[in-house]
Amino acid sequence: MEKAKNVNKKRRETGHIVTISPVMLWMIILVAIPLLIVVAMGFLTRGSYGQIVYKFTLDNYKMLAQPIYLKILLDSLWIALLTTAICLVLGYPFAYFVANVSAKYKILLFMLIMVPFWTNSLVRTYAWIIILRTTGVINSYLMNFGIIHQPLQLLYTNGAVLLGLTYTLFPFMVLPLYSSLEALDKSYIEAANDLGASPVQTFLRITLPLTMPGIAAGVVLVFIPTLGLFYVSDLLGGSKTMLVSNLIQNQFLTARNWPFGSAMSILLILITVLFIAIYFKHSNGDNLEVL
């Protein structure tokens, strides 16, 4: 009997290995190997004409400590932080409202968020250019109504970049917040009301702590992608906004300095891994369910 159980156990383990083998092969070929190539390239040298010279060097990583690149990195982290904060401030009330309305209105409200995202994000970013440019929708209406006499410089500013990033990543904050608020046990709120707690006290002591897993998940899902959405800052910020993702793009496509671009990419990956590690260290099982 025991022998038969061991045989069945080995068969199940073999079946699991066979099942996940294609996934492992896919990850190795399309993720692990390219990542190892980027890591190795970060220690190579750029030739005079942009070619890669197979000579080991640490100069690419030393360049990252230069003030100009440190400023770009800090600006990128600051804009990512602002984008995350704006999405949280706007997304929490919206998710709270959606979680407490009837089912038919929930579907309508979610459709209002999700339908625009059936269109490619690059196309939607170009739509913001039409809205924000000096001859765009906003300036045209303001001038027609006599509110302003000269067009406002709305495009190619940090504000435009923040607007584009917030618009692009807003659903990634709302969905985990809604999931956490929907799963909230309403009996806790009823008990707080019965004990005489005010709405503000109930929110701060009951609702907010119990929905922290959703907040943490939303912060991760917004903050990390913000660092890599180079096309948003490129189109809406122009040459006035240089983020770390734009720097990496320029090093690979314009400057043809692949070793330095690889070093900057590795730094960005390390920041992302550090952020995720902090999240998992201070999270619990409920956070994993929200993600």
Please write the tens of the pLDDT for every residue from 184-231.
888 888 888 888 888 888 888 889 999 998 999 999 999 999 988 888
pLDDT at 49: 83
pLDDT at 23 over 70: yes
Domain 65-290 is classified in which CATH homologous superfamily?
MetI-like (1.10.3720.10)
Question: Mean pLDDT of all residues in the chain?
Answer: 85
Enter the tokens of residue 154.
């709305």
Please write the tens of the pLDDT for every residue from 241-261.
888 999 999 999 888 899 999
pLDDT at 121: 85
pLDDT at 131: 92
Please write the tens of the pLDDT for every residue from 49-102.
888 889 999 999 999 999 999 999 999 999 999 999 999 999 999 999 998 888
In whole angstroms, give the CA distance from residue 48 to residue 185: 64
Q: Where do the structural domains in the chain lie, given as residue ranges?
A: 65-290
Q: What are phi and psi of 241, to 5 degrees?
A: -120, 115
DSSP 8-state assignment for residue 52:
E
Angle at 89 between CA 84 and CA 93, to 5 degrees: 135
Nearest to 164 by CA among 175, 155, 174: 155
